[in-house]
Structures are given as C-alpha cells and as structure tokens.
Structure 1
Amino acid sequence: MSRRQELSEAQWERIAPLMPQVRGRSRPFRDHRQVVEGIVFRYRCGLAWRDVPERFGPWQTLWKRHKRFSADGTWDKIFTSLLAEADAAGDIDWAVSIDSTINRAHQHATTLPRLTGGSANHTNLRTEPGDHAIGRSRGGLSTKIHHAVDGKGRPLAVLIGPGQSGDAPMCLPVLNAIRVPRPGPGRPRTRPDAVLADKAYSSRAIRTELRRRGVVAVIPEPRDQQGNRKRRGRRGGRPVTYDPVLYKGRNVVERAFCLLKQWRGLATRYDKHAINYRGAVILAAILTWLRT
C-alpha cells in the first residue's frame, strides 16, 4: 500500500459496496474513497479540517460527509457488516473484555454550552447527550471512551461518556450495544461467553445480570467489598470466584486502547459533538477489522 493511501485496494473493495449511493436526480457523491481516506488522514494526524491536504478534496466535503455518516449510521452499518463477516467465519473470540479510557478534551471541543451531568440515552447510540459527553475531572475537561473488545482485542461496541463518569454504570449499556448479525434469518448475537473486567466493574447488579444471561463473569472483587461481605457474615453472601488464568487475557482491551490512541485526533478530542467523535472511533474500529 502506498504511503499516500490510507486504505489498500483489498480493504476498499470490502467496504465500497456498503457506502451510500445517491438515487434520483440528486447531485452524486464525490469519490467516496478519496473522502474516506481524507477523514482517516485527519483523525490519524490530529489536524484541523482546514489543514487536510488538497489531494483529499475540499475540507468542507470531508467534514460534512463525516458528520453525515456519523449521524445517519453509515459508519455503524459498515462496522456491523464487518463483525457479521468475522462471526460467520468463526473469527470472533467471545471472551469479551470491557474497559474505558479518558481522553483530554481540547478547547476547540468545549466551546458549546453544556448541561453538567446531562443524561444520555444509551439505547440510541447516535443520540447527542446533553453535556456532549464532556465532563470535568481532576485533569480538566475530558471525555471517556467505553470499549468492549473480543479476545483478540478487536472492537465489538463503543460508547462515549463524560470523563468523570464511573465505569460500572456503563457496563451493561456497553454490553447491550453488542449486536452481531448472523447470516440468514435469526436474531443477532448479543451474548458473550465470558466478560472480563477489572475491579471497577465489581458490583452485585452486574454479576446478577451476567448470571441471568448465562455469561461467565471474570471480575475480581476489591478489598473493601471483601471486608464488607465478611462483616455481614452469612448475610454477606458467598465469596466471589473467578478464573485468574482467563483474567490474564483482559490486557487485550488495554492494548486496543494503545492502538486507538495512535490516532492523534482520538487521543485528544477536538470534536464539539459526541456523535462525530464516536463516529471517528467507529471508523478506527472499521480499519482494525479491515486489517484482519
């Protein structure tokens, strides 16, 4: 693949049929590949839209196309299609790891009025939260990417939240966002074989829900919860058990974040709207699956 290309020929052939086409008398789209490569270049290098090289076309076209594809679900459609192909080939490891990472929000992303602590509708991945998924934490204004990856570190679901939000309340919404269609009729797969998470996700509500779904919980119990359970005696319940060997595989989600933050436009958030920022994260996930 040429250094001046963001996508190889084989990669583009896989997603080209999934790109939207204009019907009727509307103006045709500018070359999709040129635009997609321009969007990838912008986020990979962390440039302002106006600074994207002219070989990718007008910067206004790149920005409008990315905004449109993020809002109308085009990026999610391509992402879901690649997941379906991988699952049909038996390539998805369903020992799912879940975690989050905090990214600093640049001042360019924080010029919109925010309702601090605004609620987000997690049932619709493309609903803009009231605070635009930007919160104030000890390090300043920040945003958080909540990630669920398969056993090989490849993304299965992505949600965006404010930086000061906790991990445990987002666990079930992230798991509910996993929907991998199967070939032919039938419902998409939504249930992992196991969920691997660190102590931040240790709660009775999460363990109860995973048990109800028949999912193995590989989540260690923090010391404060252990002490509280022992003080309550029989009412505290049984000790939490998990597979420590399987838990060692949780590091794949940390490696996935390291790969994600190689894109400078994702390591630092410059987008005002959470929808556009999440769209870029999904675009990075698409490229991760295309490389496999």
Structure 2
Amino acid sequence: MSRNSVLTDGQWARIQPLLPSSVGCRGRPFRDDRRVVEGIIYRYRCGIAWRDVPAEFGPWQTIWKRHRRYSGDGTWDSILAALLTTADARGEVDWSVSVDSTVNRAHQHGTNLPRTTGACSNYMNLFLEPDDHAIGRSRGGLSTKIHALVDGKGRPLVLLVAPGQGGDAPMFTHLIKQLKINRAGPGRPRTRPDRVRGDKAYSSRAIRTHLRDRGIVAVIPQPSDQIGHRKRRGSSGGRPPAFDREDYKGRNVVERNFNTFKQWRALATRYDKLALTCRGGAVLRAISIWLTALGDTP
C-alpha cells in the first residue's frame, strides 16, 4: 500500500454518495472527488502547508477550496451525521457520554488575520465565520480550544471550537444542544444521553439542573471550594450531589479521543486561519474515526 493511501474502497463507498456531487448540485460538476478528499485528509494528517500537498492529489488550490466549501456548507457535518445514524442503528453508539476540551496552540501562520476579541465564536452558528476566528490569548499564547462530546467508547459525537482562554462550563449547553442523531427509520432524533461524565470544570448548578431536568445522570465531581462552601452553610447548604466514583473512571475515553485526534498533526497545532476550516478538519477527523469503527462492510 502506498504511503499516500488514505481511504479504503469500502470507506470511500460509504461517503461518496453523501457528497454534493452525488446528491446533485447546481453548476459545474466536481471531478476527482476521491482524489481531492484524500488530499484534504493527507494535509491534516501530515500537518503541511496546502501548497505542499503532493501533486498526485490534484491542484492544491482545488483541495483548499473544496475543504473551505465543505466546511462552510455543512457537508462534513452531514456526512458525520449519516455515519452516526448508521452506527446508532447497529447499536454501536454508547450513550454514556463524556465531555472535555483540549487546547491547540495556534501557529503564527494561522493568526495573521484581523480579528475582534471577545466576539462569539462559531458555536452560535456553525457555518458562519466568527469575528475572533476562535483564537484567543491564554497563558500559553494564542490558542484555540476544541470542545468535544464523545460516546462511551471515545468516538466523537459533537465538536465545537472556541478561543483558548474560554472556560469549559459555558460551552457545555452548546455541546449538548448540538447532540442529535437521526433514526435510520421513523422516529424523532435521539438527543438525550443516558449519563454525562465531566471533570470538575463542569460542576456548576446550571449544568446539574439542566441534566436533572432532562433525566440525565450527572457523573461530575465537586471541586473543593464548592464542597467547603456547602459545609460552611450547614444544614442550609443541602445534601452533596450524587457522584458515582466507579463510573467516573470511564471519563478517560475523552482524553484518549484527543490523543487520537492529535495524531493528525494539523489538529495538534492550529495552522488554519479560519475557524470554519479548523473545525472542518476536526469533523473530518471524526468522520475517519467512525469510518474505521464501522468497517468496510455495509
């Protein structure tokens, strides 16, 4: 097998019917779809500049423009949604989900666009470029956070990007609102997991109330300051929230998911100027993970 081989024939057969050129689009038809998609994957896997993508994948301008288009029109998201529907129909989605974020240092080539700090990032609208391009200044310098909701086996379900200095808890409701897996047959999409595992960053009254109102088990430890505050209030502080220490051990799957993500070098460091294409690369990585999980057999 060539070092540049990216997708198996079975994997390509799964996603090819979901591309705009297959479902019908106005204008000039796309050519060499497989070669271009594999060129996009190759670029993110190797972490090279778009101009350095090997010529066998086609003109680098075509590869970049196709990725920009598929990131902005929702093509990557629709492919991931279709794969999740297939996985759920097979019973392969573990609905004991975990949530966390990882910081990606932004390379200087990805930070040279004008930006307005403090703007809302693209979790408000996944297909509009935010004014801050999801880049913020934290202690480590300019960075971006990838927020992820993964299933019980560590496969990504929802991915959002936000500035690196932002907190995890404010992003939780946006992540959980984006969780929607359509049924293969009739019925409403499933949007409610069985339980949510998160670290102490997600221990807030708002998050616990939101999960309790929806009948979702919260497996979230309390930080020491919240424990101390409750104890100081005495009987008026109420009972401590339930916490299943044994079940919490399953939260490590989200950390392993980030390790898998960052095997693609262009996701370990952010080189993209646009938040749209940065998130598009992360969604494409999620697609590759689910393609591997589903195998080549329909």
Partner of residue 210, structure 1 = 211
- CA offsets 1:103-158 (integer angstroms, 9 cap, x no match): 00011111111111112353422232221100000110000000000000000000
TM-score by structure 1 length? 0.97
Partner of residue 118, structure 1 = 119
Instruction: Quote the Cα distance in structure 1 between the aligned partners of 2:58 and 2:122.
Output: 35
The count of corresponding residues between Structure 1 and Structure 2 is 292
Q: 1:94 touches 1:151 (CA, 8 Å); kept in 2? A: yes
Partner of residue 185, structure 1 = 186
Q: 1:145 touches 1:158 (CA, 8 Å); kept in 2? A: yes
Counterparts of 1:1-292 in structure 2, within 5 Å, are 2-21=2-21, 26-120=27-121, 122-292=123-293
Instruction: Quote the Cα distance in structure 1 between the aligned partners of 2:217 and 2:128.
Output: 31
Q: Which amino acid aligns with 1:221?
A: Q
Q: Which amino acid aligns with 2:13?
A: E
1:113 partner SS: coil
Q: 1:46 touches 1:265 (CA, 8 Å); kept in 2? A: yes
Instruction: Quote the Cα distance in structure 2 between the aligned partners of 1:126 and 1:24.
Output: 19
Q: 1:120 touches 1:127 (CA, 8 Å); kept in 2? A: no
Task: Determine what percentage of the aligned residue pairs are the same residue.
Answer: 65
How far residue 25 of structure 1 moved from its aligned partner, in angstroms, is: 7.6
5+ residue gaps in structure 2? Answer: 294-298
Instruction: Quote the Cα distance in structure 2 between the aligned partners of 1:25 and 1:135.
Output: 38
User: Quick check: 115-124 or 27-36, which moved more?
Assistant: 115-124
TM-score by structure 2 length? 0.95
- CA offsets 1:169-228 (integer angstroms, 9 cap, x no match): 011111111110012232211100000000010001000000000000000001000000
5+ residue gaps in structure 1? Answer: none
User: Quick check: 31-40 or 228-237, which moved more?
Assistant: 228-237
Q: Which amino acid aligns with 1:6?
A: V
How far residue 92 of structure 1 moved from its aligned partner, in angstroms, is: 0.4
1:153 partner SS: coil
Q: 2:122 touches 2:161 (CA, 8 Å); kept in 1? A: no
Partner of residue 296, structure 2 = none
2:86 partner SS: helix
Instruction: Quote the Cα distance in structure 2 between the aligned partners of 1:279 and 1:31.
Output: 20
